Structure 1
């Protein structure tokens, strides 16, 4: 089954699972729930609570980051798009939940409405719900564009509040929820709780113990100013991966100015056939800047692999167009190294877009690999000379653009521009593949 079809099915199944509690909720409704404005508002309040908790628990389950689970979804980035959407939907619904219940109570008395929004201290179930909602507002707020791009480590620490939020939400749900027939409440929420708590437990406890592989920094090779390539040697079991995958790298070096024992995602630049891992790292933040001077012999761990940029196997089965920009050359370099190691080839046009000649990372190796790979065409694009990549430039160097699989990795403006040109050329969404690293 094509990746795009598999991905749509996987994402669709997750959203469908979130609607299971809704089905049981509807089955438990009666005529009394529609008898007056107050009862309708009460029903809607309970409904938003049910859907909000379902989205929250499934969003937590999708955060587990178990290697391999992201593959049917088209990679971890695309899986986390669904995670983010479910988290946002959960927050919106759970903010409506107490408001609708309060409006319903207002139909009986003003005091009842106030008591709903400001419950007595003895109302444990209500305060569990309010605590969960407040924690959600704190840890989800930095994820919204309104607050600007968050700093990675600060965002990660704040996001740790997701665990307590899930626990408080579950306590509130088990104590207050009586909206489904029979034992459906207990059964449904127990299953969802197992998924969420299992995911959080993996992320916070077990992944650090059994999900990471030990490596040692063997070489640190400067590529250009602000970019190094680390060569990592396995200490035990080596990582199995595909070209285009990325890993979470954690260095253990107290002499680093920043980033010691902090995990950060980096794309692998090595071929899967190499005995060691290679990772190209550009100085973009405190941790990546500090790691430029990491010492050979330093212990590191890697967790992964994640992502699904290229088809598995490494061989090129259909005509492809690659568009790389800046450090986005890394997954393409890994695939070029893999194809060359396989002594394979394919109908590939690669456009490498950089500001000027001095910004072209691995330029000499890429030109050499392009000559060694049968059917490979390398086109350099320099912004200072050509301006942004135009539709005319694409069609001039790749006339059959509309009949190729398109792979894009670079700065977001470049990604969006190439997608726009491709869509205008008649390329459907299923044939455009892009790698966009967000907060992972």
Structure 2
């Protein structure tokens, strides 16, 4: 059995006159997940008193946008169509699997098992039903954390690694991506329709339960609590991973989007984080100096307005400054001696081509002063190499008692003896 697409140019009104019976579904609201198809019998059909659980050969079936239709034969899904159009029911063809953008691999796997089970049964079915599923995005599902959930705050800039508690609320949307699994494991054969309210409390409880490990994955990315609303794409992916077994595999449901309205921390946790971040920022001497200078300026204003007199106020401020052991000038000097981590990188000129430089010449050793021996030989050492006489001293004593260095005495004019 199977479904054959009707002529593309034909309208439903034209085909209604040709089909003896046809099935259709009105527009599905946001709070409706599944309805049973409505069977309409035309004036040409002789089956006006027949059962609604039998699909006559050649019957027409209409599928609208945002809908997925399945045919259940004796409790087994034998047909599935998620592409809009008009189809004719034909028992002589193979089952139809037209799933559009749904989870085709999962649907084919489940339908294959059910079809094998159906063929094993043998006889032609006597209980056939048509169901329509809402495969549009189901929006405006509100959630909120009734109790705070733990969240790890990591700030590598200041070396912060802290566990805090946070609350959050918002809305999420989901979509049926595997209607067969939803039919088998959730709704089953319903008399008329299956609403979101029948499963909403269960979905919200499981959503909140999966929120904690999903937020833990965001904390591993060093995302701060107040930055979570700007990372909803990562959060949505993490939620689908956490809910894969219960939602995707079991019920055929996937999370489409998440919108976070607010993220709040307890006041004591928020103050503790701010205090640690400010304290870590003051590890930079320049920032600490600026903070101290601002505090000193404020203290000077307070001292000037002291009721006991400005002199008393400034004396107290001076004593407090001495007890502190360090001042802003010391911190600025420390900052100047250290690499500045918080300055903008300076523009660097492009490296120039290295130029060849002449190797520096070693300074020549100072030449020893020469002297002339009495034998006429010019010498440089302490003794004459020809006669062996020692080098005469630079200083000599004159007969008048004066210590002279030249050839003549500066006092009496006597000549230096040879």
Question: Looking at both structures, which has the greater relative contact order when contacts are Cα pairs under 8 Å and sequence separation is at least 6?
Answer: 1
Query: TM-score scaled to structure 1, two decimals?
Result: 0.21
More strand by share: 2
Q: Which has the larger radius of gyration?
A: 2
More helix by share: 1
